[in-house]
Chains A and B, each alone.
Chain A
Amino acid sequence: MQRNNNRFSRRTILRGVLYGSAVQVGLPLFEEMLNGHGDALADGTPIPRKFGVWYFGDGVRNEFWTPKARGANWDVTEELAPIVNAAPGIKEYVSVISGMDAKGDPYVHAGPASAALTGTGLDHPGGDNGTPQGPSIDVLVAKEIGSGTPFATVQSGLYNFLANGSAYHAISHNGPDAPNYPELDARKIYNRLFGAGSPGERLAGNATTPVADNTVALRKSALDAVLADCNRLKSQVSSASKQRIEQHCESIRKIESRLVSLPASVVACTKPMSPTNITDAKAGQGLYGSSKDYKEVNETMSLLLAHALVCDLTRVFTHCYTNPAAHWIYDKSLVGGGVPGSFHELTHTEGGTQPNVHKGVVLQMGHLGNTVKVFKSTPLGTGNLLDYMAMMVTSDCSRGQNHDPKDMPFLVIGKAGGALKGNVHYRGTGESVTKATFTAAKAAAPQLAAFGQGGQRVTDVLTDVMA
């Protein structure tokens, strides 16, 4: 696998430029924590692989998205250009998978979303908008590689449109009607991961054990009592209810474990800057407003995710840049006049080859490019974060105009510790998109045996994409 061979000193810092001011990302893994080659932890354990989902709604224009050439070194198309042009060398990490179909329920937006993310159909679709019948890929991967980290998965996002069922709101699910909603406010993500009393803060303070102040003991005492209630109640209810109570118990246990233990693989970590640039108005644009500040908010969240991953606070994340059937308002200043309404509306009302929809896809992929750039600029091991990551990128249809579930847009970004080739275009012949999802997941979590249910179940990967 190709690796950047630049070793870095203890004082190495990353300078990420964020809205004009330099943001410093401290070096998280010190050299003495790594083995002699820098490609594993000092005790010989490989640097943990990471898995991510970067999601956007309303699809693409396939004619501007899909490369013509197959195999290695794909030709850069208009809609993929903003990703690979975000920084030199990114293309080496990006593989394109095309020609894969969402095979699940035929319901618009939510059906293909559920297919690609969970490999299952929808419960109560139609008027209730549906919920996936099984857990999403991030939750499945986290079970394999995330159980030892303070947060099994972290959910961030920019936009979330209101509908009834959870399939439209959340791209991460523990199961039916059990969504893990994206957090749209970067300040809250920061506080959860790095704020007062958080595992990130303790790690950044080089503390190897939790601070033994009363706060921790008091919280633990309360959580113990709740857990006792939880276990008692679990034994008293019917089997159908038991599972939901158990989920609550599990959540309580996880919160408690974060209080009293720290990840084993990292003994030092540096906090990112508090995202003071995020105002209520900018955080609120997840619900209202135009895409004016999406670039900035997306970059801020990408930086927080990069820190969380390198500090090993989590190994799995989902970034719901926009959700299925996203109704974000197209910022006119970015694309010029003449663009009516929300992006979703535009995909259904614009005629011809939909030049403004195309511009919107290019705009969004520019923001994906910024995320990838942040990850690539984050040193880790002998290279950067992307070297240890498999991040899948997909949407809720191919062409939004007619909710087309065929030929879904799909990217796998990163090298996953050598598991992925990078810079390959694989074109399928209408196989289930679950195979693409499983390939990305398996690159990060080789233990995964299968993904999806029924006709969507897959057990083998796309070997062309794997190293």
Chain B
Amino acid sequence: MLGKQCVVLLLSAAACTGQVGNVEVTSDPGPTGGGSQGGAGGVTPSAVVLPAAGVFRLTAAQYKATLRDLLGDEVPMPTLERDIVLKGFAAVGAAGAGIAESAAESFEGGGSVAAAFAFGAKGSKRSLLTCAGQMGPDEACVKTFVQSFGRKVFRRPLESAEQDNYVKVWKDAAALEKSSWRGVELLVAAMLQSPNFLFRVQEGEVDPGNRARRRYRSFEMADRLSYFLWGSTPDDALLNAAESGALLSAAGVAAQAKRLAASPRARAALANFVAEKLDLGQLDLISKDAVAFPRFSPALAATMKASTQRLIDFVLFEKSGDFLDLIDTRTTFVNKELAAIYNIPNITSDTLVQATAEPLRVGILGQASFLAVKSHAVKTSPTQRGKFVMERLLCNEIPAPDASVDTTVPADANLSMRDFLEEHRKNPTCASCHKLMDPIGVAFENFDAIGAFRTKDAGREIDASGAIEGKAYRNLPELAAVLRSSPEVAMCVVKDLLRYATADSAAEQDPEVIAELTKTFEANGRQLRDLAAAIATSDSFRFASSF
């Protein structure tokens, strides 16, 4: 089966730069995977390997969703610095990210603009402060607002010193501007720059039931559940559950996890997870050669991204489908520009409409989004495409080439991409890694660097055939069928979602945890919502390793 092959490939990959102890080896669920990495504090070898506690900066997506939840959907958004993406996810990068001066400036400006909107003519200030009188809120009203709104912003009740701090901002500003509303605006602008808002404090405390690990405090757990399952700030029900102390118990967490995962709000957050897994963010930044691809534009790239996002939502949530349906679905969503790339006739719509893809284009791997991102400006990149399959679908990391590798490539314009790669692999140093990627990548050769179908490359008929562990495929649909039958794809979703949820790679290194969650995932027809709820109630999510 494919699993064994992947282990072999993996070990070869680790060896291909002579590295020893590649981190991904330990992530493999096989017999060498171990599970004995007990954290500090005397965790027994049989215990789960727990992720680290810490302080997580809001990602750009989390910041925006939170701002909308706090001040309304129309609130203007600042331009934010790009997230640091680690292990495929911005959430993992956020666990180590700080706030540089330029970022602090963006948050200052963004908070001010958002607050000015909310308390300006178009905002809904009276619904935010229902206690406000004709002339604006008085001090008692503002104090109540600081408590209630502050609890949403900081995701916990404010200490009395903190309340005084913000009431003072109101008082000073209101006096200076001779307007109570302006005072409220300023205090909200200040709250939106606070580290208590911009950082999610997830430090936990020593678990009284097992002093070798940390448990998350009740409000920290509310924050944790909400940002994992909704990608945004907790609602009142969740904060109330936290206030009652319910989120310190497994049952309390389970009840809320179930509620949040079933909510329509989980749909966008989990779709965002899949989008990150598929690297769709790169569509914001790719460029193509204008002579080779006159049809390509930033607008087309945005359509490609939106099309794949729509497909994810359709398959996983509208149809409540099996996650693996994403691998081989023939359904796609196109507007007239994308339909032209996909050779789908009679589409005149400017917006995305459902369609059936051409015969050799299946699933997310047949989406122009993936094919264009994993290409160069003119040429395709079977290497990047194959690497994506290996790393992001099968969770086997290929090490980057080191600088001692001569990357000079054969320069013959008459070679097809397949021939070019085969020529390239005659160099044994290159072949040691490229043999793991390129043979998979050639299965996509029927699609050019913007994802348009083609039958020829450099004047020759395209040969997209290959094999993984004796399972031959002639083209993309057949490769998709092989992948669909592989248990690694589902297991890789489990690992990725666990990493996304905990912002740490530690838990996925525990084969028992992965096996258990994968079993649950498989048993539920690979429903992403159910997997998310299972992860949220697992010990890996509820507890952290000791400091």
Contacts and interface: CB of A to CB of B under 8 A. Distances in A.
Contacts of A232: 161-162
A421 B405 CA distance: 37
A155 B169 CA distance: 32
B101 to A, nearest CB: 4
> Which 9 A-B residue pairings sit nearest by Cβ, starting from the closest?
A351-B411, A106-B402, A251-B104, A341-B377, A222-B190, A162-B285, A341-B378, A241-B55, A244-B98
A233 interface: yes
A248 to B, nearest CB: 4
Given A165-B86, A247-B99, A340-B378, A181 B81 contact: yes
B84 interface: yes
17 contacts: A108-B403, A108-B407, A127-B391, A161-B285, A162-B82, A178-B100, A180-B101, A221-B186, A223-B108, A225-B169, A228-B165, A238-B203, A248-B104, A248-B198, A250-B101, A252-B104, A402-B405
B461 interface: no
A403 B407 contact: yes
B188 to A, nearest CB: 10
B289 interface: yes
Interface string B94-115: 0011111111110010001000
A404 interface: yes
A348 B377 CA distance: 13
A295 B118 CA distance: 42
Q: Interface range on chain A: under 10, 10 to 19, 20 to 34, or 35 or more?
A: 35 or more
B73 to A, nearest CB: 25
B104 to A, nearest CB: 4
B186 A222 contact: yes
B407 A222 contact: no
Interface string B390-401: 010000011111
A26 interface: no
B290 interface: yes
Contact of B287 (A223, A225, A342): A342
Interface string B178-202: 0000000011011001111011010
A390 interface: no
B162 A181 contact: no
A107 interface: yes
B346 to A, nearest CB: 31
Interface string A318-344: 000000000111001000000011100
Interface in B292-309: 292, 298
A228 B402 CA distance: 46
A247 B104 CA distance: 10
Contacts of B130: none
B95 to A, nearest CB: 9
B397 A181 contact: no
Nearest to A405: B403
B379 interface: yes
Contacts of B55: 237, 241, 244-245
B85 interface: yes
B99 A248 contact: yes
Interface stretch (A10-18, A283-291, A365-373, A440-448): A283-291
A312 to B, nearest CB: 18
A348 B401 CA distance: 14
Given A218-B186, A221-B186, A229-B196, A166 B403 contact: no
Interface in A203-223: 214, 217-219, 221-223
B100 A332 contact: no
B535 interface: no
B336 interface: no
A397 interface: yes
Given A341-B289, A341-B376, A225 B165 contact: yes
B176 A222 contact: no
A157 to B, nearest CB: 12
Nearest to B285: A162
Contacts of B288: 329
Nearest to A166: B84
Contact of B403 (A107, A226, A238): A107
A360 B84 CA distance: 30
Contacts of A124: 86
B282 interface: yes
A112 to B, nearest CB: 7
B432 to A, nearest CB: 15
Given A327-B287, A329-B290, A218 B82 contact: no
B404 interface: yes
Given A226-B195, A238-B54, A287-B285, A404 B403 contact: yes
B168 interface: yes
Contact of A251 (B103, B289, B377, B379): B103
Interface in B364-414: 376-379, 391, 397-409, 411-412
Nearest to A160: B285
B87 interface: yes
A165 B84 contact: yes
Contacts of A329: 287-290, 377
Nearest to B154: A229
A70 interface: no
B77 to A, nearest CB: 16
B500 interface: no
A114 B82 CA distance: 20
Interface stretch (A44-52, A169-177, A459-467): A169-177
Contacts of A340: 289, 292, 377-379
B173 interface: yes
A128 interface: yes
B93 interface: yes
B104 A350 contact: no
Interface string A146-171: 00000110010000011011100100
B317 interface: no
Given A255-B105, A255-B108, A342-B376, A287 B287 contact: yes
A352 B408 CA distance: 10
Contact of A349 (B93, B177, B411): B411
A233 B101 contact: no
A111 to B, nearest CB: 6
Given A341-B376, A342-B376, A108 B411 contact: no
B273 interface: no
Given A125-B400, A127-B399, A402-B406, 7 more contacts: A107-B401, A218-B177, A229-B195, A233-B196, A238-B54, A288-B298, A341-B377
A219 B169 CA distance: 10
A106 B403 contact: yes
B172 interface: yes
A31 interface: no
B99 A127 contact: no
A359 interface: no
Contact of B404 (A106, A245, A254): A106
Contacts of A405: 403
Nearest to B391: A127
A29 B407 CA distance: 51
Interface string A91-128: 00000000000100111100110000000000011111
A240 interface: yes
A422 to B, nearest CB: 32
Nearest to B376: A345
B39 to A, nearest CB: 14
Interface string A238-280: 1011011101111110110000000000000000000000000
Contacts of A457: none
B201 A162 contact: no
Contacts of A247: 98-100
A236 B154 CA distance: 15
Nearest to B392: A127
B104 A255 contact: yes
A47 to B, nearest CB: 25
A108 B187 CA distance: 48
Interface in B183-234: 186-187, 189-190, 193-196, 198-199, 201, 203
Contacts of A174: 98, 100
A230 interface: yes
B102 A181 contact: yes
